[in-house]
Amino acid sequence: MAAVHGDVHGHGHDDHHPTGIMRWVTTTNHKDIGTMYLWFSLAMFFTGGFLAMGIRAELFQPGIQILEPELFNSFTTLHGLIMVFGAIMPAFVGFANWQIPMMVGAPDMAFARMNNWSFWLLIPAALLLISSFFVPGGAAAGGWTFYPPLSTQGGLGVDMMLFAVHILGASSIMGSINIITTVLNMRAPGMTLMKMPLFVWTWLITAYLLVLAMPVLAGVVTMLITDRHFGTSFFNAAGGGDPVLFQHIFWFFGHPEVYIMILPAFGIVSEIIPTFSRKPLFGYSSMVYATASIAILSCIVWAHHMFTSGMPTVGQLFFMYATMLIAVPTGVKVFNWTATMWKGEMTFETPMLFAIGFIFLFVIGGFSGVICAIVPIDIQVQDTYYVIAHFHYVLVSGALFALFGGAYYWLPKWTGHMYDETLGKWHFWLSMIFFNMAFFVQHFLGLAGMPRRIPDYALQFADFNMISSLGAFGFGLTQLLFVYIVIKCIRSKEPAPEKPWDGAKTLEWTHLPTPAPYHSFETPPVVK
Amino acid sequence: MAIKDKMENNLTMMKKLLVFTVVMFVFGYAMVPFYEKFCEVAGINNLLQPDTLTQEQETDTARWVTIELDANTRGLPWDFKPLQRSVRVHPGESVEVMYEIINNSEREITGQAIPSYSPRFLDKHLKKFECFCFTRQVLKPKEVRQMPVQFVIEPTLPKEFHTITISYTFFELPVGTPAISEK
């Protein structure tokens, strides 16, 4: 980052806003909206987590114990949908709302009113998803990817799910339009694109991916709805449609989607690592180009989810090589993070622990991803627990660990209080141990052939499943500790130091007091 | 820059991004005809078009292949069965088999048959000249119809396959839907 000049200001600003509940309903303040996004995603994280606990409880032992197969299927389906669309994505949008205006020196998001809508749309969508468990026929049970023909059959629960996905998509598109406009039009004077913090860069590219992919999802959901209710036959073989077509369109959205969930995580880690290594980020511009390359490549690899759908060999080879190519820019990133730490004056506060845990475990998930990309292996492991292990390594120890790291990193700035460092470290180490206990053994289960989305399994899988379930329960309980730490931090009487991290170089630390005032940067800072 | 200019810039940006969003929504739909065309050109999933014999097939009299015939209906009150359970032929030999459908209901029903093969790559070695699946079938109440399928199993079929299965499933078409091959 370039050196920054300007006065620390923002004290003593008059805040005229409604109080009580109306403050939150009508707010257009990016910090309020960011806070609501974060609480919402935390609530959804525990909802999805509850479903995960149900799944692992059923899989604790072979046989059917607590969940009937149909309900088990609903649990896996809704666990996926809620975690992807309700927990991980809104959490990153929450970070974007809080951080992007402060990091680029803007007073607020570009379209403050639309920002409010983007958030409040999430509530009805979440209610639709959760209440679909209680309608006749139960919640959608065809997997979070809602492939037809299961999703063209199904009852009211499927309609509620499809409608919820539509709403969530609209919310995401509005959010991304807001973010792109804020980043491109509202930067402080002197904040050129190549001086932007990497978190802002990764979110800019993510937002472009969102406006690219989300409308395609909206299209495919619309097709499903018209197939279900208006007699079209996009995916109905009898009417001339093709269920495989659904998979192509869905994954055209779905693959960029997985990068939508990991690129902002890269951004958060790229802020934390330099701060606690007390060195500038190694290879800043190569980080930007690597992020852009990953985003572009992510649009041409979708059919690696469909190697067993009867694709010609040429197609399989193309998608295999394109997928493996993504390892190159990702490798650049991992190299740069490691090089940033090299000979740095490192300290290991909780954000740094989560960032290093992220790098370590994300690389494991990345490698199992390259393994899955290889066609003959993928044909073996498709729809097994190997795939489950792979994407939980990139989504839980990837995206979620980065979110935890970012939360600890910015909590002092947001609340004005320091979190409990000892408890934070406990949270990290318990998460680390239980996460690996829950998911590492799933690699073995998958290689041995245990299929995913099935409530029962053959006896030889029993031991690993018990270990995995115990790890999952431990991981779930550990997250209650996170809630306790956050509440304790908010209620703490002790003010945080103005700049708790001496290595932090971004505008919110150098130009704003702690806690960040309700209105910041109404006069833009000058970045040199 | 004046605040007004800034807001105008932002709105221009939003309009561009909204247009892009709409374009991507349409793109999702554009994948449907694109996909159909792609499959047609690449010869994938071409199960409902008659084949033409490109060259005179040589009959491989050295081996026999057993063809098992299967018939199913889904959601329509028809009886549908092959008149012979299986046939035994030499690869390259022209075969004709008969199927029979009976409409058990009191209403006129339009159906479309969709083929399915085992092994799944059989379509590469199967040339079909005539099939009731190429058009929709309209059956009056209680009507009985016998229909032929004419095809050749090409000698390119790998040697390890001694038994293959050809299966048809009839689906009901809503009134007024054209058959797939007539689209």
- In tens, the pLDDT along A264-297 reads 999 999 999 999 999 999 999 999 999 999 999 9
The count of domains in chain B is 1
**Active-site residue A108, yes or no?**
yes
Say which of B14, B26, B28 has its CB closest to residue A181: B14
Examine residue B11 and state whether it is found in any structural domain, yes or no: no
Query: Poorest-confidence range of A135-144, A266-275, A470-479?
Result: A135-144
Q: Is the pLDDT of residue A7 over 60?
A: no
Instruction: Dump pLDDT digits (tens) for B154-172.
Output: 888 888 888 999 999 988 8
Least confident of A175-189, A328-342, B134-148: B134-148
Kindly tell me if the per-residue pLDDT of A17 is higher than 90: no
Is A333 a residue of the active site?
A: yes
Determine the average pLDDT of the residues in A211-232: 94
Among partner residues B6, B17, B120, which is closest to A310 by beta-carbon distance?
Answer: B120
- Please give the structure tokens belonging to residue B26: 């349409």
- pLDDT score recorded for residue A15: 54
For residue B55, pLDDT over 70 is answered with no
Q: Which domain holds residue B69?
A: 65-182
Angstroms from A215 CA to nearest CA on chain B: 5
d(CA A356, CA A273) in angstroms, rounded, equals 8
Question: Which of A118-122, A363-367, B67-71 has the weakest average pLDDT?
Answer: B67-71
What is the 3-state secondary structure of A422-476?
Answer: HHHHHHHHHHHHHHHHHHHHHHHHHHCCCECCCCCCCHHHHHHHHHHHHHHHHHH
Contact: B27, A219; criterion CB under 8 Å: yes
The mean per-residue pLDDT over the stretch B127-154 comes to: 88
Angstrom CA distances, A193 to A89, A201, A202, A259, A290, stand at 24, 8, 12, 21, 15
Min distance B40 CA to chain A CA atoms (Å): 13
Ranges of each domain in chain A:
28-196
Look up the CATH number of the domain holding residue B109. 2.60.370.10
| Residue A134, pLDDT above cutoff 80 | yes
Query: Would residue B41 count as lying in a domain?
Result: no
Q: What percent of chain A has pLDDT over 70?
A: 97
- Assess B66–A contact: CB distance below 8 Å, yes or no: no
Is the pLDDT assigned to residue B56 strictly greater than 80? no
- Residue A485 confidence (pLDDT) above 90: yes
**Which has more confidence, A19 or B132?**
B132
Q: How confident is the model at residue A6 (pLDDT cuts 50, 70, 90)?
A: very low
Report yes or no: A177 at the B interface, CB cutoff 8 Å: yes
Could you tell me how many helices (H) and strands (E) chain A has, helices first? 18, 2
Q: Do A249 and B17 touch (CB under 8 A)?
A: no
Q: What is the mean pLDDT of residues A162-175?
A: 96
Interface test with A, best of B4, B7, B14 (most A CBs within 10 A): B14
User: What residues of B are in contact with residue A240 (Cβ under 8 Å)?
Assistant: 112, 177, 180, 183
Distances (CA, A) of A87 to A43, A119, A399: 8, 13, 11
Q: Is A392 a catalytic residue?
A: no
Interface test with A, best of B9, B32, B39, B45 (most A CBs within 10 A): B32
Q: Where are the alpha helices (DSSP H) in A399-420?
A: 401-415
pLDDT digits (tens, 9 = 90+) for B76-98: 889 999 998 999 999 888 889 99
Q: Tell me whether the omega of the peptide bond preceding residue A149 falls within 30 degrees of 0, making it cis.
A: yes
Residues of B with Cβ-Cβ distance to A176 under 8 angstroms: 17
In A, minimum Cα distance to B121 occurs at A310
The mean pLDDT of A202-226, rounded to a whole number, is 96
Q: Higher-confidence residue: A300 or B180?
A: A300
Long-range contact set of residues A431-435: C-beta below 8 Å, sequence gap at least 24: A431/A357, A431/A401, A431/A404, A431/A475, A431/A478, A431/A479, A432/A357, A433/A474, A434/A471, A434/A472, A434/A474, A434/A475, A434/A478, A435/A361, A435/A396, A435/A397, A435/A471, A435/A475
Distance between CA A51 and CA A83 in Å, rounded? Answer: 10
Write down the pLDDT at residue B175: 65
**Residue B30, in any domain of the structure:** no
Residue B45 lies in a domain: no
* Most confidently modeled range among A122-136, B62-76, B119-133: A122-136
Catalytic site residue A58?
no
In which band, very low, low, confident or very high, does the pLDDT at A8 lie, cut at 50, 70 and 90? very low
Query: Is B39 a domain residue?
Result: no
Residues 6+ apart with CB under 8 A from A363: A334
Structure tokens at A118: 């983007």
Rounded CA gap, A461 and A451, in Å?
11
How many helical (H) and strand (E) elements, i.e. helices and strands, does chain B have? 1, 9
- Exposed e or buried b for every residue in A199-236, given b needs 16+ CB within 10 A? bbbbbbbbbbbbbbbbbbbbbbbbbbbebbeeebbbbb
User: Does some domain include residue B129?
Assistant: yes
Average pLDDT, chain A: 93
Cβ distance A212 to B183 less than 8 Å, yes or no, reads no
Q: What is the pLDDT of residues A47-57, one digit of tens each?
A: 999 999 999 99
Known catalytic residue at A509: no
Using a CB–CB cutoff of 8 Å, tell me whether B18 touches chain A.
Answer: yes
What is the model's pLDDT at position A509?
94
Identify whether B54 is part of a domain. Answer: no
**Cβ neighbourhood burial of A500 (10 Å; 0-12, 13-18, 19+):** middle
Least confident of A117-131, A348-362, A401-415, B127-141: B127-141
Beta strands B126-130 and B144-153, pairing class:
antiparallel
